[in-house]
């Protein structure tokens, strides 16, 4: 329940676009930067944030840095959302049980 810095990382639309690009496959930093209007240093800074939140990982290949999605960050996000949702649908089930009980009471009352 602590960190969850990954949400902060996803708050920025440029960073989300980077992740969407990487969903299509690995890319070098330069290739990523080339697809944006903003400067390469700006992208480099975004990549740093994504690295620190474990949403991407990188490996060196000569001068190039090859980036790809890191499942760890996605896991974290997914489980946070799932946890929230499960509580929510848990409440729904409870409501349903409540309704069922009321119905059976009504039926019982009708019988006499």
Applying the rule CB under 7 A, the residues between 6 and 25 that interact with DNA are: 8, 11-12, 14
Q: Which is nearer to a copy of itself, 78 or 102 (CB)?
A: 78
Name residues whose C-beta falls within 8 Å of residue 36's C-beta, 6 or more positions apart in sequence.
14, 17, 42, 43
Distance CA 102, CA 106 (A): 6
Q: Pick one of 21, 26, 29, 80: the residue that binds DNA (CB under 7 A).
A: 29
Residues forming a β-bridge with 28 = 66
Q: Pick one of 3, 20, 30, 99: the residue that binds DNA (CB under 7 A).
A: 30
Which residue stretch of 43-51, 71-79, 85-93, 96-104 sits at the interface with DNA (rule: CB under 7 A)?
Answer: 43-51
Q: Which is nearer to DNA, 8 or 81 (CB)?
A: 8
Q: Residue 39 carries which DSSP code?
A: -
Q: Which is nearer to DNA, 10 or 74 (CB)?
A: 10
Q: Which is nearer to DNA, 1 or 62 (CB)?
A: 62
CB 36 within 8 A of CB 20: no
Name residues whose C-beta falls within 8 Å of residue 23's C-beta, 6 or more positions apart in sequence.
69
Q: How far is the CB of 96 from a copy of itself (least distance, A)?
A: 15
What SS3 state is found at 55?
Answer: coil
């Amino acid at each position: 329940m602590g960190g969850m810095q990954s949400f902060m990382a996803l708050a920025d639309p440029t960073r989300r676009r980077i992740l969407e690009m990487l969903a299509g496959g690995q890319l070098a930093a330069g290739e990523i930067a080339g697809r944006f209007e903003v400067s390469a240093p700006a992208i480099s800074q975004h990549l740093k944030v994504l690295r620190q939140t474990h949403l991407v990982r990188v490996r060196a290949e000569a001068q190039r840095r090859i980036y790809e999605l890191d499942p760890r960050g996605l896991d974290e996000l997914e489980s946070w959302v799932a946890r929230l949702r499960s509580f929510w649908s848990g409440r729904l089930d409870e409501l349903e049980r409540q309704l069922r009980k009321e119905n059976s009471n009504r039926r019982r009352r009708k019988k006499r």
